[in-house]
């Protein structure tokens, strides 16, 4: 029987590239995102190139009813048993906290935290019953530090890292692999949505910045190997390690300087 992976935020960026990586490795797919046209295009490409079954759900997963809808579609309409859950959907928002739109930030919390938690809660029991399964939560190196000028986004990713590591400890002896994929700056549509394209950091031709395809491949391999934290790139790994030894005031100041536009 073919294995099946569900990927949220699958229409662009890391989620899209993860879809192709899972398909190349023999997985059928359930792809969830808001953009129906883009999902249909990816579905056609994967079915033609890799001959995998692809189901699509065009839905904003941040809506309160969406996780239950997705769960019911998978079990009752598609009649599929899920082997891998990839909680990838998320977005960020740049600017001082007093200047940002609270509605967008609450929507960010709903997507980055609430939907991820809800989907995990819904799909985990069946994995436990089978005694096997994998969950990847896409976090960020941002989850290891406070983020001046992107305070809510960094905080949501800190939740994802902490939540994932706790689940890894709870579940690894029960046959469930739980991993946090923590990329650094990556070339995706995320930068436009978060209004980051004008940052000097993103303008620079820096080898800190990875492409979504390489991040997806590293993430897949890390998940298959049961790694609790997957950090693509040596410099990103070193950054996270150094944070353990630097004073908090210095970390916050350095992060602020990196996040400034000029």
Which residues are tagged catalytic?
153
Which run of H or of E encompasses 187? strand 186-187
Spatial separation of the C-alpha atoms in residues 165 and 237, rounded to whole Å: 17
Max Cα–Cα distance, the chain, nearest Å: 54
Nearest-CA neighbor of 119 among 161, 84, 149, 80? 84
Spatial separation of the C-alpha atoms in residues 166 and 160, rounded to whole Å: 10
> 128 to each of 60, 123, 161, how far by Cα in Å?
27, 9, 21
Find residue 178's DSSP bridge partners.
135
Name the token pair of 245.
């030894």
Cβ contact 89:8 at 8 Å: yes
Nearest-CA neighbor of 147 among 108, 204, 178? 108
What is the Rg, in whole angstroms, of the alpha carbon atoms belonging to the chain?
Answer: 18
Nearest-CA neighbor of 217 among 9, 76, 23? 23
Spatial separation of the C-alpha atoms in residues 158 and 83, rounded to whole Å: 26
**7-42: burial string, b at 16+ Cβ within 10 Å, e else:** bbbbbbbbbbbbbbbbbeeebbbbbbbeeeebbeeb
């Amino acid at each position: 029987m073919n294995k099946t992976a569900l990927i949220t935020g699958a229409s662009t960026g890391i989620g899209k590239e993860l879809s192709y990586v899972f398909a190349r490795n023999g997985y059928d797919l359930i792809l969830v995102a808001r953009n129906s046209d883009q999902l249909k295009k990816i579905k056609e490409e994967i079915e033609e190139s890799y001959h995998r079954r692809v189901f699509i759900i065009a839905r904003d997963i941040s809506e309160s009813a969406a996780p239950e809808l997705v769960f019911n579609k998978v079990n009752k309409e598609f009649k599929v048993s899920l082997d891998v859950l990839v909680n990838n959907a998320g977005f960020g928002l740049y600017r001082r906290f007093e200047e940002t739109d609270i509605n967008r930030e609450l929507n960010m919390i709903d997507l980055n935290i609430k939907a991820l938690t809800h989907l995990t809660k819904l799909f985990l029991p069946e994995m436990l019953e089978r005694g096997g399964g994998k969950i990847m939560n896409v976090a960020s190196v941002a989850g290891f530090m406070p983020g001046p000028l992107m305070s809510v986004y960094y905080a949501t990713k800190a939740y994802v890292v902490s939540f994932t590591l706790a689940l890894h400890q709870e579940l690894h002896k029960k046959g469930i692999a739980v991993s946090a994929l923590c990329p650094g700056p990556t070339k995706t549509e995320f930068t436009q949505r978060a209004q980051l394209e004008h940052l000097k950091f993103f303008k620079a031709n820096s080898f800190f910045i990875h492409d979504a395809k390489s991040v997806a491949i590293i993430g897949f391999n890390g998940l298959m190997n049961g790694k609790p934290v997957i950090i693509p790139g040596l410099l990103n790994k070193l950054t996270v390690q150094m944070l353990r030894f630097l004073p908090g005031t210095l970390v916050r100041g350095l992060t602020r300087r990196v996040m400034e536009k000029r």
